[in-house]
């Protein structure tokens, strides 16, 4: 005889909302859902386990009398149409939780290795002049030495520079390794998690252009310099709360300093602006904002070209790359410092292989060994 479990309508509705599953979609897979929600029938334990898997929530949460009060654990800097965005998705909440766990683990690892507080963390204030802070960013990340000429090369060099100064950088367009749970840049572009030993930046890839990713990387670094964790995104790249606007300004100035703006003087068409912007690893939209704020182009031209750029925004989206290198993707999701620390700790016996496999997201020893070889740990 199967065991049946009492559930409440409010918890079932919460699980559907959190997973962004419609009633119509879900009832096709769980025909008794209406009876469960009305209280006319109870799901079996097996049915509830399947429902938990389908909605990406724990079984324990489903048997609670009321939905849990899930709030964002970090400051929310996002706005849409000048209003704060409410009700975070389950995908966002689970992503932040996943990377907080990584950060906690790496904090302990770094402390065991004798790491000290990184001196640049919290070294500026959002009241500081953005031009001054942008120069500090360029100094810390050695941006004046970057020889990149395309946005993808800029991303590679910015990520390396961030990792070299002690920031964990992780990027993905899905929750964990689950390709059926895509993230959305309509909800967020990235976040940073402040920690004196293990500051972390996460960038939501989700089809974003390399230029947009570069901007997010530097933007989140500005939050860390100010000593804060933050969730960033929304409709407009250069909108948001006062701190968000300040970080946007810092990022734009750091990536496009004043002496770079002359590269746009001869630009006439939208394509001209795109080509010039690519040299500095940014989007045409960011370039136009900088040119306008520096009074290099007038209001009329700014609006005309910006509207044309936004009308054809898909041109700057990163193309889909199916069948990419698995180990490069894995390293991008974990970040090289964390991946190296996991492999090293496992091989040195400070962490069991089961835990090491869980953290890299694969139970296969051959995957672990190849990752170790790629990271040059063995």
- Residue 314 forms part of a structural domain: yes
pLDDT, position 315:
59
- 283 and 164 within one domain: no
Contact by Cβ (8 Å): 77, 240: yes
Gyration radius (Cα) of the chain, Å: 23
Q: Quote the domain boundaries for residue 356.
A: 326-374
- Residue 273 forms part of a structural domain: yes
Structural element, H or E, at residue 9: helix 9-18
Say whether 226 sits in a helix, a strand or coil. Answer: coil
Q: Name which of 180, 216, 229 is nearest 75 in CA terms.
A: 229
The domain boundary, picked from 18, 36, 62, lies at 62
- 274 and 218 within one domain: no
- 336 and 277 within one domain: no
pTM over 0.75: yes
Residue 316 C-alpha from the chain's centroid? 19
- Residue 299 forms part of a structural domain: yes
- 90 and 205 within one domain: yes
The domain boundary, picked from 255, 287, 304, lies at 255
Say whether 195 sits in a helix, a strand or coil. Answer: coil
Domain count, the chain: 4
The two beta strands, 190-193 and 230-232, are: antiparallel
Contact by Cβ (8 Å): 201, 232: no
- Give pLDDT tens digits along the chain (378 positions): 578 888 999 999 999 999 889 999 999 999 999 999 999 999 999 999 999 999 999 999 999 999 988 888 888 877 655 456 667 899 999 999 999 999 999 999 999 999 999 999 999 999 999 999 999 999 999 999 998 989 999 999 999 999 999 999 999 999 999 999 999 988 999 999 999 999 999 999 997 899 999 999 999 999 999 999 999 985 445 555 689 999 999 999 999 999 999 999 999 989 999 999 999 999 999 999 999 999 999 999 999 999 998 887 665 655 555 557 999 999 999 999 999 999 999 999 999 999 999 999 999 999 999 999 999 987
Alpha-carbon distance 290 to 134, whole Å? 13
194: region left, alpha or beta (phi > 0 left; psi from -120 to 50 alpha): beta
pLDDT, position 316:
63
- 312 and 171 within one domain: no
The domain boundary, picked from 204, 226, 255, lies at 255
């Amino acid at each position: 005889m199967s065991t049946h479990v009492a559930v409440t309508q409010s918890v079932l509705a919460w699980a559907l909302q959190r997973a962004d599953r419609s009633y119509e979609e879900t009832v096709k897979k769980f025909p008794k859902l209406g009876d469960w929600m009305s209280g006319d029938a109870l799901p079996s334990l097996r049915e509830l386990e399947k429902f938990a898997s389908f909605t990406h929530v724990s079984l324990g949460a489903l048997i609670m009398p009321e939905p849990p009060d899930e709030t964002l654990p970090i400051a929310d800097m996002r706005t849409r149409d000048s209003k704060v965005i409410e009700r975070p998705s389950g995908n966002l909440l689970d992503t932040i939780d996943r990377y907080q766990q990584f950060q906690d683990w790496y904090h302990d690892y770094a402390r065991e290795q004798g790491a000290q507080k990184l001196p640049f963390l919290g070294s500026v204030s959002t009241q500081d002049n953005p031009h001054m802070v942008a120069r500090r960013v360029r100094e810390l990340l050695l941006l004046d030495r970057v020889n990149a000429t395309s946005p993808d090369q800029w991303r590679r060099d910015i990520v390396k520079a961030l990792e070299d100064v002690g920031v964990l950088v992780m990027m993905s367009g899905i929750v964990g390794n689950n390709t059926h749970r895509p993230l959305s840049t309509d909800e967020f572009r990235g976040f940073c998690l402040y920690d004196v030993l293990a500051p972390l930046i996460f960038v939501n890839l989700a089809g974003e252009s390399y230029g947009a990713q570069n901007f997010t990387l530097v933007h989140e670094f500005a939050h860390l310099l100010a000593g804060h964790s933050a969730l960033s995104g929304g409709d407009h790249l250069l909108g948001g709360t006062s701190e968000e606007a300040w970080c946007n300004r810092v990022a734009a100035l750091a990536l496009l300093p004043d002496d770079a703006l002359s590269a746009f003087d001869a630009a006439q068409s939208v394509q001209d602006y795109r080509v010039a912007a690519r040299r500095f690893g940014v989007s045409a939209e960011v370039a136009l904002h900088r040119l306008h704020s520096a009074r290099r182009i007038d209001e009329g031209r700014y609006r005309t070209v910006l509207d044309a750029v936004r009308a054809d925004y898909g041109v700057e989206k990163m193309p889909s790359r199916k069948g990419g290198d698995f180990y490069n993707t894995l390293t991008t999701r974990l970040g090289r410092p964390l991946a190296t620390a996991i492999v090293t700790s496992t091989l040195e016996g400070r962490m069991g292989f089961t835990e090491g496999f869980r953290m890299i997201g694969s139970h296969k020893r051959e995957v672990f060994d190849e990752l170790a070889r790629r990271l040059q740990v063995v």
